[in-house]
Structure 1
Amino acid sequence: MSNSGNVARGLKGAVSNPNNSEEAKQRAQDRLDEMHASGEANSSEAHAAQVERGHKAAMSNPRNSEEAKEHSKQIVDDMSM
């Protein structure tokens, strides 16, 4: 996943931060709008990357069963294709 998801989250935070000036909020909103218009902030792509990270974490969690780890490994392998 690219850093665009992190950038979008930061911009959303800047827009909703009451300590930011209206000018700063508007600049952040404009940039966020540009990202959405260009497809740069694709939420389904961000979701898929987050799911993959979760399964990778599950594979290395010593508290998970071998069956759960194998299930997560299969999902990660399928996502990589």
Structure 2
Amino acid sequence: MANPGNVARGLKAAISNPNNSEEAKQNAQGRLNDMDSRGELDSAEAHAGQVERGHKAAISNPNVSEEAKAHSKSLVDDFN
């Protein structure tokens, strides 16, 4: 199953793309509204994915302390 966050980003891109027809934009907006009404955009799974990606980014960021990188690494290991 596709990640709801990725689907939402694709729909938002379709809505803002000037090359898409108005019908395509309306369909994308309708699907985005459906996802929002079902709570898929704010799901705990989507949030957990965002948290994991943030910790992965911290590990490779040269401006993050070694202590913080170690903490992020331990949390990323827990996700997997």
Give the TM-score normalised by structure 1.
Answer: 0.70
In the alignment, does 2:11 pair up with 1:11? yes
| Structure 1: segments with no counterpart, 5+ residues | none
Output the CA distance in 2 between the equivalents of 1:8 and 1:51.
Answer: 18
CA displacement, residues 36-71 of structure 1 (integer Å, 9 cap, x when unaligned): 000011177534422322213434678865412222
Q: Is the 8 A contact 2:3 2:46 kept in 1?
A: no
- Aligned pairs, how many? 77
CA displacement, residues 8-33 of structure 1 (integer Å, 9 cap, x when unaligned): 00000001111000000000000000
Alignment of 1:1-81 (within 5 A): 3-42=3-42, 46-59=46-59, 65-74=65-74, 76=75
Identity %: 69
Moved over 4 A (4+): 60-65
Quote the RMSD (CA, aligned, Å).
2.7
Letter in 2 for 1:14: A
Give the TM-score normalised by structure 2.
Answer: 0.70
Output the CA distance in 2 between the equivalents of 1:36 and 1:63.
Answer: 36
